[in-house]
Structure 1
């Protein structure tokens, strides 16, 4: 029963996530619709508004025009303003006033005061046109903001997709295809070459090589034979296998990674936007100054309606249109800019954090290195030339699927060598390959074979190459040793420049890899990295990130494999290399589409600039209030200067324009 439960909760997770995703899409559509409908309704409201008519000299009058104005404004207030009113109620319940309550307060005060004026319960002007434009701009701001945030997490759905859904179970010497969720521990399954391993298990028959790089980060395929274990999600490369399953659905290694990711995602701190904190302060300032204004005007012996008009002016002016746009506009511009530079920002809060990073952890395979083998050294014997050694080795290797073989062939292409054909090609199990090239017997073999057959070769060179973590193969011609070739995962040129530039910024670079210590140290030395953690198991990667974080460091993590997903989620800023697996990409806060480690520098710079623009904008938006509120409250009334709601609105629009223009300058 347990395994059924496993697949069921698994499915439930996926459905839940799809549901959330659809909900988010729906909300964006909803804001968009409300914005356009409100915008259309705003046009007649502005034209019918007494204050606008006084300014423009327009005269539009017809019977009951006031009630038409009231009707249209009510539509905008209840339909366009609904998300904010609903938000206000939520914030009120949580006793945590913010942007929603500030907007809710301003639109409600403007609406109910204006209704009173139209119905003849008060003197002065109605605020309907201000109500309408305020709602329009706030809807626009929220719509822009939600669109730029939309990338959110389908990470787990991506992980779930990676597992095969069908397994070939063996029953009474027949194989039957069954859903993976039906497998029980102890079942025997067949895995054909090129297929993914559906569940964790133990090999009971067959030898093969398995590519586990997407799970463990180990760059070389791993040789497997009877008694070895295989991990769900890895790829069986060469031979057919019979495997006895040890883990089912929930118990597999990949499922553990899935739960690690979801855990790290849910516990990541959601630092609230600065604009929200500013809104919270402004809510208290607006409410407070409105009440104080009312009391002072009453105390000075003015009529109730005058005192109310002053109070409303203060409250409407205190709700800054500009504040609603200050952050979203900068975000929209920086999101567009970063997309142009091949950066996809999926988590804004984390992106804004990138400016504070002081340590960056790189996964080795595929991030700092190319993730494919290249020939680094060719040593020759018996007076044979390097090119001849490559030519003979390449001829034999061309029929093999092994990554090392591809490395040799790539080197031949680079040197423009032609490939001779091979006859009688065969694989020498566990030691290498052989064949006849132009009638000559050629073998490409492992160090073990050379030792067993007691060839004498330059052991000191061999040792020093192995020390660097390179894989060495030997080439024999007619049972004579003619050369050895060293292959390694090649370092990316851009990685060198990136590490250098980070050094200049005073940011520490750390390498984290599942590969062995020798390989790791060799790569790190070439790149001049500050620290290396090698032979790190995938589950421990996130632990390693935590460890660096305990040294009071803000850590960025750059990776590309599934095994990096938990670490990406744990880091302060997770950066995925776009050519990596979908999961790593989905867990990261930022995705580098071009898979170029140099883009890490772009992120840090863009984050710094984005943050600076936001702060400037918040000052413009809130700074306007620092001046406008006292004026609206009538601080200069004794010398005959009173800020009418209309002038307040113009100032408000002006600060909005300044904020918008300032956001656009980010492009420069």
Structure 2
């Protein structure tokens, strides 16, 4: 761009001096005003471009401003102030009302309202209790909290997202790489065209002033900057706008991928539903009470991040139950946990298929009817988690996880975009089918293990006239996210899911995913429009300038 503009401006300026001082021949053809006007317009264009790029810089600054400079560290009964960058996993941090949570962690003590709108877009404060996870950068609006830091301050969600925004500026999308190649060829061609124009007019018998005027017009009219800026300005605006809407895009190439997705594979728990299941029924075998079953289950669940484990733990905490320490603890993501009590009893907690492997004499069915309280082949259309003690099935916990209020509208929006939806979950078929029926989803795969999810997603690639995206929030979704053409993680999900995804939706529901698709399509539409206008302008302007 500057080669052509600089050449045109310099030629106009030098020829004006030559004509004025040396060879005016009774009349003067001056182009000082043209040189000044061109310079002014170029500077104005640079100012507009800089404003567009500043939008992304402001989004980055806004993210970084969420982190407090210091944190209150509790150590050996005393409190001291440490730099935010010095926070390490395992630190116990105190957060007072009105202060910002310094890093991601889990509540050890206290109850408070936490404002998460800056990260998730949720306008109302969220009530947080012992055991709940909290995000660095969110504001405690009531109550004092004692938090166990799970990651270092520099690795918190806010810090990672800020790095993503910064890295995104350095990775041009395919549209931009194409435009840059065209602009690289365009500049020498225009220089040749300008020279040919000047020679042509002189050979046609016109004056040198006329020839130079036409050549300068070609140089000035040519606009490789329109080609070079068509993609990056739109991309920068799209990334910053997406960040303000709670959608963080790791790689700008994902903007183009978002516009090409035709099939979205989604997990159920936490994506379509609230992600906070609650126990609705505990049915136990003869000889064990509900309280005893809950204590055993909570002793295993306390070490797991699975939503069902969190539900069991919340139920035990609500009853102020204390549970024994478990040794030899093992977890298979998406299936269940096993361990051993201090008195040597083997305990297993998980789904039906997992529990069958840990029973001495597997029952015909692992469901218990909550209405009758007896073993039966048919169970309700609810999710269930079973508990085994020393190889004997002793209890079943039935869970209910309501559909998010924003999910139906988001599903409708996705379908209007021409995106088909498949529900892919490790949950039992009955609750999966029930949720799908309520939302009008016809493609359902239930009872799928983590490796099975990845295999299913891989098998779908190439079967639709577009790309396949996977959206999930759990550790058991990480393989599937990495297998998809485009992985979308929810901000409320696990670190494994976020690392495997190219797009992070901070407000963890499918409504945010719908926003991501809308933003991707809008950005690509603007880029295509810009490129079309740039090509059209140069196609029309250059012949006109050459005369």
TM-score normalised by length of structure 2: 0.54
**Displacement, 1:361?**
1.6
Q: Counterparts in 2 of 1:243-322, with a 5 A limit?
A: 271-273=174-176, 275-276=179-180, 279=183, 283=187, 286-287=190-191, 289-319=193-223
Q: Is 2:213 the counterpart of 1:338?
A: no
Q: Is 2:26 the counterpart of 1:110?
A: no
Partner of 2:460: 548
Partner of 1:594: 507
Q: Which has the larger radius of gyration?
A: 1
CA–CA distance in structure 1, aligned partners of residues 493 and 219 of structure 2 = 52
Partner of 2:410: 498
CA–CA distance in structure 1, aligned partners of residues 40 and 52 of structure 2 = 18
- Say what the alpha-carbon RMSD is for the aligned residues: 5.2
Q: Unaligned 5+ residue runs, structure 2?
A: 24-28, 61-89, 91-167, 327-340, 350-357
Partner of 1:419: 319
Change (3 A) 1:506 1:623: closer
Contact 1:342/1:592 (<8 A) preserved:
yes
Q: Unaligned 5+ residue runs, structure 1?
A: 1-101, 153-193, 195-264, 383-388, 434-445, 476-480, 635-668
**Displacement, 1:150?**
12
CA–CA distance in structure 2, aligned partners of residues 451 and 275 of structure 1 = 65
Q: Counterparts in 2 of 1:181-580, with a 5 A limit?
A: 271-273=174-176, 275-276=179-180, 279=183, 283=187, 286-287=190-191, 289-319=193-223, 324-364=228-268, 366-369=270-273, 373-377=277-281, 401-402=301-302, 406-408=310-312, 410=314, 419=319, 429-431=345-347, 462-465=376-379, 470-472=384-386, 485-487=397-399, 492-513=404-425, 524=436, 527-533=439-445, 544-551=456-463, 552-561=465-474, 564=477, 567-568=480-481, 571-580=484-493
User: What is the DSSP-based 3-state SS (H/G/I as helix, E as strand, rest coil) of the residue aligned with 2:466?
Assistant: coil
Change (3 A) 1:450 1:319: closer
Deviations 1:294-315 (A, max 9, x none): 2442232113343123112211
| Higher percent of residues as helix | 1
**Displacement, 1:360?**
0.6
Deviations 1:28-51 (A, max 9, x none): xxxxxxxxxxxxxxxxxxxxxxxx
TM-score normalised by length of structure 1: 0.46
CA–CA distance in structure 1, aligned partners of residues 383 and 407 of structure 2 = 19
Deviations 1:98-119 (A, max 9, x none): xxxx543343443456456556
Change (3 A) 1:467 1:361: same
CA–CA distance in structure 2, aligned partners of residues 488 and 501 of structure 1 = 26
Partner of 2:95: none
CA–CA distance in structure 2, aligned partners of residues 349 and 118 of structure 1 = 49
User: What is the DSSP-based 3-state SS (H/G/I as helix, E as strand, rest coil) of the residue aligned with 2:49?
Assistant: helix
Contact 2:383/2:399 (<8 A) preserved:
no
Q: Is 2:524 the counterpart of 1:611?
A: yes
Residues matched between the structures, number: 390
Contact 1:379/1:484 (<8 A) preserved:
yes
